[in-house]
Chain A
Amino acid sequence: MTELLQQLLNGLSLGAIYALIALGYTLVYGVLRFINFAHSEVFMVGAFVGCYIGRLAGAVTWWSGLAALASAMLVCGVLGFVIEKIAYRPLRGAPVLNVLITAIGVSLFLQYGGQLVFGATPRTFPPLFPETRVSLGSLDISTNQLIVIVVTTVLLVGLQLIVKHTRIGTAMRAVALNPKAAQLVGVNTNTVFSFTFVLGSALAGAGGVLYAMNYPSIDPLMGVMPGLKAFVAAILGGIGSIPGAALGGLILGAAETLVGGSAFSTYKDAIAFGLLILILLVRPAGLLGRATVEKV
Chain B
Amino acid sequence: MSRQHAALLAALAASIAVSAFGGSINAYFLDVAMTAGIAIVMAVSLNLINGHTGLFSLGHAGFMAIGAYLSAAVTLFVGPHLVGPSPSVITTQFIFLAALITGGLTAAFAGFIIGLPSLRLKGDYLALVTLGFGEIVRVVFQNIPALGGALGLNGIPPLTTFAWIYGSVAVTVFTISCLVNSTYGRGWLATRDNEIAARSIGLNTTRYKITAFAIGAFFAGVAGGLFAHLRMTIDPRGFDFSRSIEIILMVILGGMGNTLGVILAAILLTLLPEILRPVAEYRMVLYSLLLIVLMLVRPQGLLNVRFGKQSKV
Query: By the criterion CB–CB under 8 Å, are A102 and B291 in contact?
Result: yes
A78 close to B (CB within 8 Å) = no
Task: Give me 4 other A-B pairs in contact (C-beta within 8 A), A105-B289, A105-B292 excluded.
Answer: A105-B295, A228-B132, A277-B117, A281-B120
Query: By the criterion CB–CB under 8 Å, are A235 and B245 in contact?
Result: no
Quick one: CB contact mask for A259-283 with B, threshold 8 Å, 1 for yes? 0000000110110111011001100
Interface residues of A in 88-114 (CB under 8 A from B): 90-91, 94, 96-102, 104-109, 111-113
A115 close to B (CB within 8 Å) = yes
A211 close to B (CB within 8 Å) = no
Interface residues of B in 121-141 (CB under 8 A from A): 121, 123-125, 127-129, 131-133, 135-136, 139-140
Shortest beta-carbon distance, B69 to chain A, in Å?
16
State in angstroms the CA–CA spacing of A105 and B295 once bound together.
9
Interfacial residues, chain B to chain A (CB-CB below 8 A): 54, 56, 117, 120-121, 123-125, 127-129, 131-133, 135-136, 139-140, 142-143, 196, 241, 245, 248, 252, 281-282, 284-285, 287-292, 295-296, 299
Q: Residues of B contacting A100 with CB < 8 Å?
A: 56, 123-124, 127
State in angstroms the CA–CA spacing of A55 and B187 once bound together.
60
State in angstroms the CA–CA spacing of A105 and B288 once bound together.
5
A249 close to B (CB within 8 Å) = no
Shortest beta-carbon distance, B263 to chain A, in Å?
20
Shortest beta-carbon distance, A239 to chain B, in Å?
9
Query: By the criterion CB–CB under 8 Å, are B121 and A280 in contact?
Result: yes
A231 close to B (CB within 8 Å) = yes
Query: By the criterion CB–CB under 8 Å, are A91 and B296 in contact?
Result: yes
Q: Residues of A contacting B139 with CB < 8 Å?
A: 266-267, 269-270
Q: Residues of A contacting B120 with CB < 8 Å?
A: 280-281, 284
Q: Residues of A contacting B282 with CB < 8 Å?
A: 116
Chain A residues within 8 Å of chain B by Cβ, number: 42
Q: Which residue of B lies closest to A101 (CB)?
A: B295
A195 close to B (CB within 8 Å) = no
18 contacts between A and B (CB under 8 A): A35-B124, A91-B296, A98-B299, A99-B295, A100-B123, A101-B291, A105-B288, A106-B292, A108-B288, A109-B292, A111-B288, A115-B281, A266-B143, A272-B132, A277-B117, A277-B132, A280-B121, A284-B120
Q: A97: which of B56, B125, B143, B288 is its contact (CB, 8 Å)?
A: B56
Q: Residues of A contacting B127 with CB < 8 Å?
A: 35, 100
Query: By the criterion CB–CB under 8 Å, are A273 and B136 in contact?
Result: yes
Q: B142: which of A106, A235, A266 is its contact (CB, 8 Å)?
A: A266
Query: By the criterion CB–CB under 8 Å, are A112 and B285 in contact?
Result: yes
Q: Residues of A contacting B245 with CB < 8 Å?
A: 104, 108
Q: Which residue of B lies closest to A35 (CB)?
A: B124
Q: A105: which of B133, B136, B281, B291 is its contact (CB, 8 Å)?
A: B291
Q: Which residue of B lies closest to A106 (CB)?
A: B292
Shortest beta-carbon distance, A111 to chain B, in Å?
8
A296 close to B (CB within 8 Å) = yes
Q: Which residue of B lies closest to A284 (CB)?
A: B120
Query: By the criterion CB–CB under 8 Å, are A108 and B284 in contact?
Result: yes
A34 close to B (CB within 8 Å) = yes
A87 close to B (CB within 8 Å) = yes
Q: Residues of A contacting B295 with CB < 8 Å?
A: 91, 98-99, 101-102, 105
Given A90-B296, A281-B117, A284-B125, are A108 and B291 also a contact pair (CB < 8 Å)? yes
Q: Which residue of A lies closest to B285 (CB)?
A: A112
Shortest beta-carbon distance, B118 to chain A, in Å?
10
Q: A228: which of B124, B131, B248 is its contact (CB, 8 Å)?
A: B131
State in angstroms the CA–CA spacing of A229 and B146 once bound together.
29
Shortest beta-carbon distance, B55 to chain A, in Å?
10
State in angstroms the CA–CA spacing of A100 and B248 once bound together.
12
Query: By the criterion CB–CB under 8 Å, are B296 and A97 in contact?
Result: no
State in angstroms the CA–CA spacing of A108 and B244 once bound together.
13
